Structure 1
Amino acid sequence: MSGGRILVIKLGAFGDFFLAQTAFEAIRRHHAGDRLTLLTIPQLAPLARMSGLFDAVWEDPRSIASYVTVPRMIRGGWFDRVYDLQCTGRTDRYFWLLFPGPWPEWSGTARFASHDDSYPKRRKVPVLQRYERQLRPFGITPAPHPDLSWLDADVGRFGLDGDYALLIPGSSAGRPDKRWPRYPELARALAERGVRPVVLGTAIEKDLATAITAACPAALDLTERTGIAEIGALARRAWAAVGNDTGPTHLVAAVGGPTVALFSDASNPIHASGRRVVLHHRPAFDAMDVEGVLEAIGRARALA
């Protein structure tokens, strides 16, 4: 389809965006001679542009007005094919709102799409397997791990000369049940082993970071001080990283450093990807001790 026009839809969220990187890369390889456009949310648009995978990046604020503006944009783009990697009710409606047509080839879960990817319990399937299944009919095969070499920054200003471990103690504001409560103990254990704990997060994690630095004065609090590129750079150079089921954890895992992702039954331990990632799961966080997490770090570091 050389010279064709291709649209990829992936609206969010932050962690899911990084889980989609291998699909983005595979679509780009398959459509090397085509014009590739991404539709995403405004918060992720700068990151998408930074990746260099797309010729154009469109923004969808997911407002009520988007039900008018986005179908109009899709019609005006005269796309030959659309890969809907979001596959939600919103993006299904974008397909239906192209009525009365013409419609491009459409891969997604919208009823009457040319390439319907609907099947029972689809949302229970690990996301990377969903992408593989969705793209297979087109001869597109995502690689096992993404190439995030473009996600880098100068992090010398943080003064991290020796071994350090990234700690990601937070989660989305509405999901405190995803937060393992023993990061202060883990920070002390790491410091005793000569590894400096470095806490990442936003303003909503500030109290968690304060608790960690109070328990372990050697820890460095970088909450509110890092952008996405800097998180990627820190992850690439880290001795290890430990985090909950949250976007920054998926990012540091995807970069390729040794990462332990902590899960309880509050979330599904199937959404993490990276060359050196270990999923450490217990039914409840009360049953997850520091020694077990340290052992998981050792396993992650042993991975090639």
Structure 2
Amino acid sequence: MSTTDDDLPPPMQEPVGVPPSPALAPQHEAVLAQLAREFLRERRVERRWRTAFRLFWLALAALLVYSVWLQGRLVTPSTAPHTALVEVRGEIAVDSDASAELLVAALKDAFKDQGAQAVVLRINSPGGSPVQAGIVHDEIKRLKKLYDKPVYAVVEEMCASGAYYIAAAADEIFVDKASLVGSIGVLMDGFGFTGLMDKVGVERRLLTAGENKGMLDPFSPEDPKQRAYAQAMLDQIHQQFITVVREGRGKRLKETPDTFSGLIWNGEQAVKLGLADRQGSLDYVAREIVKAEEVVDYTPRENVAERLAKRFGAGVGAGAVKTLRELAPIR
């Protein structure tokens, strides 16, 4: 069958006013391909980081659960005769390993254990808060009376200031001949910057409601009346410390003008002054005094998960959670 020109469709025409679509140049295609590859690579890296974060926090949670379970199994009440140990290490302060909260909890567990024949405080501390030390001292006296169990203090390197405040509640204090014992005193320290401020031309502007609200402000001149008030307060706390030592040591204490001056003595001198009773270690006390050679440690200790959590900090955890929420879900 033959066709004519009239039978053919009309030729395609470009729309009026629309330029023809040029083909992409080879270099443009290469750029787009590179961008696509980079995008895919970033998405893969992003997914890997999300997965790593999730696995990390999952592992940390599992470790925390395991540590809590394990810690619960480490110290369990035992009917077998033993010596109960509570460590007093480092600064006695809130949020420290030797805080009143932790020490009191450990002491309660130790005294309650029927197998514990006596409680031994192994001390290596320079002291700290008189409030925290006082809480522990009073709790020891209460528990001694409640459970009728002896308490012994064993000093390692140092038992000074607030640490000796705690040790004074013990029935006997054992030391090494080179231990450092004493420092029965109270201090309040600070700095004064008024002379330096005058030299550099800095003016202190302090507004208070209450004439003594800015007492002992380091950037203001010292007020004699406020200084006298602070000194009287320290003297009262010092007297409380002295009373505790006298009650705890009784007739064994051989007072001298230096006993409550804040001086510190070695273990041999401390025994002569009646600040300690005799030389001896933890093993000696458990074996020869308590007659229960097995030692069970009731000291609360940080587990691995708690150390990790403190190291990374709450801020890191919050930041990680925020990042995970902002990232797109895994596809």
Scaled by the length of structure 1, the TM-score of the pair is 0.23
Q: Which has the larger radius of gyration?
A: 2
- 1 or 2 for the larger relative contact order (CA 8 Å, sep ≥6)? 2
* Greater share of helix: 2
